[in-house]
Structure 1
């Protein structure tokens, strides 16, 4: 069985690539903490939905899971590298960290944090 980080990020990527903010928001806990590209940490599904509604519909994400961990049966997480791209050639590379929480039989994102990085020559 694969780690829940892989499953959650597969579902997140599919919803992101298809510009489905409602589907993305449902991947988060009701009280999730979210730090995207903006300077402000926001909380809750409504804030997550609003964030993704504002993302250009042509954006896509390429996700590489780097590390996973589990803490008991209800907490897991890990780190990934994500490259966001747009049809106009726009690109942003980020490090992503997630904390996941198991609610009944479904894993949801409890904490999401991206940190943009610029490759050094």
Structure 2
């Protein structure tokens, strides 16, 4: 497996778990996909740690769904994968929000987890 394929597999494993938890509105399970000291930047001021991630996703409306597509990957170190993604967040009562997302995924004792998450809305 080449490094790009391996990096994409790592990202898909973590992001599929993240997506499943987002889609089923399970904020604590979403937060479990992040490191204990994660830096998290959604569409509001940033937070540090899993509690901030859980609070952010708990405040999201029921019916929120995430669909992602990996645009780029980089492997700055053996235990780190950088991902740049296009994500569509769909809602039951308003238009879909298209964003770009940068994540830094880190290998931890718990497995691969998101150490940094930053959303950009360009439109």
Q: Do they fold alike, i.e. is TM over 0.5?
A: yes
8 Å contact from structure 1 (residues 32, 43) kept in 2 = yes
Q: Which runs of 4+ in 1 moved over 4 A?
A: none
Alpha-carbon deviation of 1:30?
0.5
- Superposed CA deviations along residues 31-64 of structure 1, whole A, max 9, x for unmatched, are 00000001x1110000110000000011111111
Aligned counterpart in structure 2 of residue 52 of structure 1, from 45, 51, 57: 57
Tell me the secondary structure at the aligned position of residue 81 of structure 2: strand
Alpha-carbon deviation of 1:3?
2.7
Provide structure 1 residue ranges, at least 5 long, that are not aligned to the other structure: none
Question: For residues 50 and 18 of structure 2, what CA distance do their matches in structure 1 show?
Answer: 14
Match of residue 111 from structure 1:
116
Superposed counterparts of 1:1-121, under 5 Å: 2-38=8-44, 40-104=45-109, 106-118=111-123
Q: Structure 1 residues 64, 72: closer, same or farther in 2, change over 3 A?
A: same
Question: For residues 53 and 102 of structure 2, what CA distance do their matches in structure 1 show?
Answer: 16
Query: Scaled by the length of structure 2, what TM-score is found?
Result: 0.89
Q: How many pairs were matched up?
A: 117
Bigger share in helix: 2
Tell me the secondary structure at the aligned position of residue 117 of structure 1: coil
Q: CA-atom RMSD, angstroms? A: 1.3
